[in-house]
Amino acid sequence: MKAIFFVLLIELSCLALFAADSKTSTGPVSPAWNETAAAEYLDSRESWWLKWPQAQRDHATACVSCHTALPYALSRRALRDARRETAPSAVERSMLASVRKRVEQWAAVAPFYTDASAGVRKSIESRGTEAVLNALILSNYDAETGVLSASTKTALAEMWSLQLKSGSAIGAWDWLNFHNAPWESNESQYMGAALAAVAVGIAPANYRSDPAVQENLKALQQYLSENYAAQPLFNQVVALWASAALPGILTSERRASLQDALFSSQQFDGGWSLSALGPWQRHDRTPVETKSDGYATGLIVFALEQAGVSRTQNQIARGLSWLAHNQAPREGLWLAYSLNKQRDLKSDVGRFMSDAATAYAVMALKNSL
C-alpha cells in the first residue's frame, strides 16, 4: 500500500511540474556549458566544409549549406568573448570571402546546382536559395557594426531581383527541393522566405525606408502571413523568429497560439524533438528520433527569446537548462538526428544536423544574433 501511495505521489509531482506552464522559474540557467569547446567544434566543422570536395563550387568558392555554413555564420560571433577575439576568426574570414566573392561575381559564377547536373529547375532554385542565404549571412555581420556594406547591399539587391512576382508564391523565392527535410523539401520555400525576412529585419533600419524595398517587403510579409496557417511547426518557429526581426508577419494571436503549441510539445526533460515539428518521414522508413535534440531545443528557445519571452519563464528556463546540460563534454557539440535517414552520428555527413544544433544551441544560450 505504501508503495502504491509513493508512486501516486511521484505522478502527482510530475503533473504539478507540467501545470506550472505560466509560472517563472526560480533557478538560474546552469553555466555548465563550454563556450570554447563549442567554438572549436563549429570552427572545425566549417573548416572541413570549406575544404570538402562535394562542397566546392565555381570560381574556387564553396556552397553555403543550411546545415553547416549558415548556422555557423549566424552563431560564431556570439562566442568571441570565450575565445578573446576582437574580430572574425580565420575560419569566419574564409567563409565570408567565399560568400562575398560569389555576391560580387554573381553573373559569372555558376549556380550551386545546375539543371544539367541535378535536374530540372535546379539552376533557378539554386539561385533563389543562395541569394537569400548570402543576404542573411552578410546582413548578420553588418548588424555588428550597424553599417550596411557594399557587398551586403549587392546581396540584398540580388535577393530582391529573384523575388517571385507572379504565381502562387508571390513574395517568396524559388527554393532548392531535393526532398530532404527540413531545408530542401516541399515545405522549405516558406522557411526560405522567413529567412529573407530575418535578413532584412536585422539590417540597419534606414535600409527598409527605401520605397523600392518597401514594395518588396509588402509582398514578402503578405506571403508569410497568408501561408502561415498551412505550415508545419518547424516553419512556424522560423516565422516567429522572422516576426521578431521584421514586424507585420504574425499577429499577436498567432504568436500566442504558437507559443502555446510549442509549450505543449516540450518534453518532460525540458527539451524539444524535431520529430514534433513535422510531420516527417524518413526515406529509409526508419523511425524518426523522438528524444530531445539540440536543434529543435536551440531553435525554439532562440525564436521565443527573440520574440520577447523572458529567459526566466518556466518553459524557456527548462529549455536553457536542457541545453546547458546536454552539450557533449569532449567535442563541444549538441546532437541532432537526420529527418531523412538513419545516419552514423560520428561521420562527417552524419554530423550535419549536429552542426545546426550546436549553432542554434549557442544562439539560444547567448540569446544573440
The pLDDT value recorded for residue 31 is 56
Residues 6+ apart with CB under 8 A from 154: 103, 104, 106
Percent of the chain with pLDDT over 70: 91
* Residue 94, C-alpha cell as written in the block: 574564409
Q: What residue type is assigned to position 323 of the chain? A: L
Which cell is 90 given?
A: 580565420
Q: Looking only at Cα atoms, what is the longest distance across the chain?
A: 79
pLDDT score at 113: 96
- The list of the chain residues with pLDDT below 50 reads 1-29
Residue 184's DSSP bridge partners are: 180
Instruction: Give the pLDDT score at 256.
Output: 97
Question: Distance between CA 289 and CA 342 in Å, rounded?
Answer: 9
Treating both helix axes as pointing N-terminal to C-terminal, what angle do 233-245 and 294-306 enclose, rounded to 10 degrees?
A: 30
Pairing of strands 61-62, 56-57: antiparallel
Q: Give the closest residue to 196 by CA, choosing from 234, 252, 158, 231.
A: 158
d(CA 155, CA 134) in angstroms, rounded, equals 6
pLDDT of residue 355: 98
pTM of the predicted protein model: 0.91
The owner of cell 556552397 is: 63
Determine contact, residues 361/72, Cβ cutoff 8 Å: no
Please tell me the predicted confidence (pLDDT) of residue 6: 41
Q: Answer yes or no: are the C-beta atoms of 151 and 104 closer than 8 Å.
A: yes
Residue 32: predicted pLDDT: 81
Cell of 177: 527541393
Dump the DSSP string for 227-291. Answer: TGGGS-HHHHHHHHHHHHHSSSSS-HHHHHHHHHHHHHH--TTS---GGGG-----TT-PPPP-S
Which amino acid is it at 63?
A: C
Predicted pLDDT at 2: 43
Q: To 5 degrees, how large is the angle CA 240–CA 327–CA 298? A: 0
Closest CA relative to residue 310, chosen from 10, 23, 64: 23
What is the model's pLDDT at position 206? Answer: 84
List the beta bridge partners of residue 61: 57
Give me the sign of the Cα torsion angle 339, 340, 345, 350: negative
Q: Are 317 and 271 in contact (CB under 8 A)?
A: no
**Is the peptide bond preceding residue 111 cis, with omega within 30 degrees of 0?**
no
Res 368: pLDDT: 76
